[in-house]
Structure 1
Amino acid sequence: MTGPAGAIEHRSLPLGSLPIPDERVVDVWLIRQDRLPLAGLGALAATSEGADTRQLERVQQRFLLRLLLGAYLDRPGRDVTIDRESAGKPVLVGEDARRLAFSQSHAGAWLAIAVSGGVPVGIDIEPGDRRPRWERLARRYFPAHDADAVCSDPASGGCRRFLDHWTAREALVKAAGRTLAGNVAGIELGADPGDRPAALPSDWPTGAWSLRRLETAPGLVGHVAWAADSAPDLRLRQLAGPG
C-alpha cells in the first residue's frame, strides 16, 4: 500500500530478489514470528544451546532482518554486514548503507521491519490492547501540553492516544539514531501526532523530519519516521512461511 489506507500485501518465503524502495516509499514488513517455520529451528537451538524464549526470538529477528536485507541487496542474508552506531542504532556499512536504511521493532509475536532507499528511517509498534500506566508515563516523559492532551479524557481512548504518541516519539528517536533517555521529553507532537513533529530537541540532527501512522497494521499501534520533508508513502507487506 501507499499512504495511510489500503490493503496489506501478503508475501511468502522464499522471497527472491526485491527492488529497493523508491525515494518517497518505505517498505514495512509485518511478521508473526510464531507462524514461521523458523520457530522449529529456534526450538532446536534452544535444546542444543540452552537458549531461553527471549534469546530465541532475538535469534529469529536477526535471521529475518538479514534475510530481508539480503533480498534487497541481492545476496544471501549471511553475507549482509550490520554494524552499530555510537548510540546503538543498527546500520549497514559502506555502499550498502547508501542504498538501504532500515529499522525494526517487535511487540509480542509481531516483528516489524522498515526499509527505505537510504533515507534514515525508524519504526515502532505496540500492541493495541496494551495497558501500561499510561497517565503516569505521559506526565513523566511528555512535554506538559502534550501530556495534557493525552490525559484530557481518560475514559475516551486515553491509552490509545498515549500509545500513538509513544510510538511516534520512539520512531523519531530510532530514525535519528538517538536514545530515548534525554530525547523523549524534547519531542513535541501536539494533541495528535501528524505528519511532522511540532518541535524537536535543540541538539537534534539538522534537516527535516516527518511521520506516518501505521493505520492498517493488524491489532497494532505504530509509526514510521524518516529524515525527509514530507511523510513517506508506506508499502505494507506481511511475510508468511512457504506456500
Structure 2
Amino acid sequence: MTIVRRVLAARLLLPAANVLLDRTCTECGKPHGKVRAAGVELSVTHSGELVGVAVADVPVGIDVETIDPEVDVDGVAGVALADEEIRQLKRLRGIEKVRAFTEYWTRKEAVLKATGEGLRGDLKAAAPEGIQVVRLDVGPDHRAALAITSAEPPVVRVRDAGEFLRS
C-alpha cells in the first residue's frame, strides 16, 4: 500500500505516513474490503508488473489485466459477458479474441469497483446510467479501464509510479 499512500499524500498535501487507509468490508467487517481513505474515492488494481491507482472525488473503479493466451475465453465469457459481447467474440480467433475478452473484462471489473459491488455484481449487465468507462492505454500486453460515476467524461492523467516511489 506504499504507492497508494504516496499517491494520496500528493493529492491531499500530507506526509504519506499521515494517510490513513481502511479496508474494512462493509458487509462482514473484516479487513478485505475496498481500500478507502477519508475525503477521497479510490480504487487499486495490479496485474503482472503493472499497478493502477485511481483517485477521484466521486466513486471510481480501475482494473488492469495481463493478456493471457491461456485463459479459457469461451468458458469465462459464458458467465461474464452479455450476449452481444459473446457474439462479438465469436467473430475473433486466437490472440485477438483474448485481447477483446480482456478488454471487456477490465471494463466490467472497473464498473463493479466503481459501484462498490465488486465481483458479487452482475458481470453480464451493462454499465449503469451515470458511469463513464474509459479505456486506458497501458501497452500491448495488458488492457485497462477506468470507470467513474460522472455525467461528464473524466480527465485522466496517467503517471509513472516512479515519481511517487522516489519521493
TM-score range, shorter chain: 0.7 to 0.9
Q: How far off is 1:141 after superposition?
A: 1.9
Offset, 1:78: 2.0
Tell me how many residue pairs correspond in the alignment. 158
The residue number in structure 2 matching 1:76 is: 15
Q: In the alignment, is residue 92 of structure 1 matched against residue 37 of structure 2? A: yes
Where does residue 30 of structure 2 map in the other structure? none
Secondary structure of 2:8 counterpart: helix
Q: 1: CA distance between counterparts of 2:82 and 2:68?
A: 24
User: 1:209 and 2:128 equivalent?
Assistant: no
Q: Which amino acid aligns with 2:77?
A: A
2:150 aligned counterpart, secondary structure: coil
How far, CA to CA, are the matches of 2:147 and 2:153 in structure 1?
8
CA RMSD of superposed structures (Å): 2.1
State whether structure 2 residue 97 is matched by structure 1 residue 175.
no
> Which residue of structure 1 lines up, in the alignment, with residue 144 of structure 2?
222
**Deviation at residue 105 of structure 1 after TM alignment:** 0.3
- Check if 1:63 corresponds to 2:8: no
Question: Offset at 1:169?
Answer: 0.2
Is 1:108 aligned with 2:40? no
Question: What are the ranges of 5 or more consecutive residues in structure 1 without an aligned counterpart?
Answer: 1-61, 189-196, 201-206
Which has the higher relative contact order, 1 or 2, with Cα contacts under 8 A spaced 6 or more apart? 1
Residue 231 of structure 1 aligns to which amino acid in structure 2?
A: P
Tell me, in whole angstroms, the C-alpha distance in 2 between the residues paired with 1:140 and 1:154.
Answer: 19
Distance (whole Å) between structure 1 residues aligned to residue 86 and residue 9 of structure 2:
41
Mapping of 1:11-50 within 5 angstroms? Answer: none
Question: Structure 2: which amino acid aligns with 1:143?
Answer: A
Distance in structure 2 (CA, Å) of the matches to 1:130 and 1:64: 29
Matched, 1:141 2:74: no
- Say whether the 8 Å CA contact 1:85–1:91 is kept in structure 2: no
2:158 partner SS = strand
**Shift in Å, 1:67:** 1.6
Does 1:127 find its partner at 2:66? yes
SS at match of 1:235: coil
Per mean C-alpha deviation after superposition, the further-off stretch among 138-147 and 102-111 is: 138-147
- Runs of 4+, deviation exceeding 4 Å: none
User: Which amino acid in 2 is paired with 1:113?
Assistant: V
Q: Does 1:231 align with 2:153?
A: yes
Check whether the contact 2:107–2:147 (CA below 8 A) recurs between aligned residues. Answer: yes
Q: Give the letter for the 1:134 counterpart.
A: V
1:175-194 matched pairs, under 5 angstroms: 175-185=114-124, 187-188=125-126
Larger radius of gyration: 1
Q: Is the 8 A contact 1:85 1:177 kept in 2?
A: no
Alpha-carbon distance between aligned partners in 2 of 1:72 and 1:155, rounded to the nearest angstrom: 42
Write the distance in 2 (CA, Å) between the matches of 1:132 and 1:140.
14
Quote the Cα distance in structure 2 between the aligned partners of 1:154 and 1:160: 10
